Amino acid sequence: MRSGRAAHVVATVVVAAAGLSSCGSDDEAQAVAALKSQIVANNSMVSDTAISDEQSTCIARGAVDAITVDRLQDYQILDDRLDVQKRLSEVPLSAKDADALAGVYLECSDAERIVEDRLVARLAPAGKSRAARRAKITACVRDAVTADVVRDILAQSFQKTGATAYTRLVEQLGACRG
């Protein structure tokens, strides 16, 4: 009896500790809230694709986990009060942090599909091409745009380096037009 009760107490303590550790610090929670607000506001200004509350929370949490509050402050994305000072997209990140943030975007949102849809809209605007041609272009774009390609494009964007990944993709998509 006693060992069963002890096991229950230990299990309760482990579950409680796991719950507490997943909550993070107050600074992390404040940083997540600030980044989430910035992500939602920025998305509404630059995209027709709505970002869900769940996706914006996931991206903000992922950015804080992957980059850390201290480094977000070093980049001046967050100020000393943990308010957003600069948008994530405004600051050149290190290659490591840019790749991590690109991974967060892929994990938390449908970034691959968004890129595909935008490219299809450019290559075969609705109403301007026959349905069969649009379907062919759509299939070609979906084959060319992979998670790895999108990750490379996003990482280069977050680093503020040359857009070689995007240039390679555009060259590949030349075959989609034909």
Q: In this structure, which amino acid lies at residue 95?
A: A
Q: Three-class SS of residue 17?
A: helix
Give tens-digit pLDDT for 67-102: 999 999 999 999 999 999 998 888 999 999 999 999
- Counting Cα atoms < 13 Å in the Cβ hemisphere of 49 gives 12
Whether this prediction's pTM lies above 0.95 is answered by no
How far is 166 from 178, CA to CA, in rounded Å? 20
Average pLDDT over residues 7-34: 53
What distance in Å separates the CA atoms of residue 75 and residue 59, rounded to the nearest whole number?
17
pLDDT tens-digit profile of 49-67? 677 889 999 999 999 999 9
Q: Contact 77/86 with Cβ under 8 angstroms?
A: yes
pLDDT band at 8 (very low <50, low <70, confident <90, very high): very low
71 with 77: CB under 8 angstroms? no
Beta-bridge partners for 84: 78
Residues 101 and 9: their CA atoms lie apart, in Å, by 39
Token pair listed for 124 = 């075969």
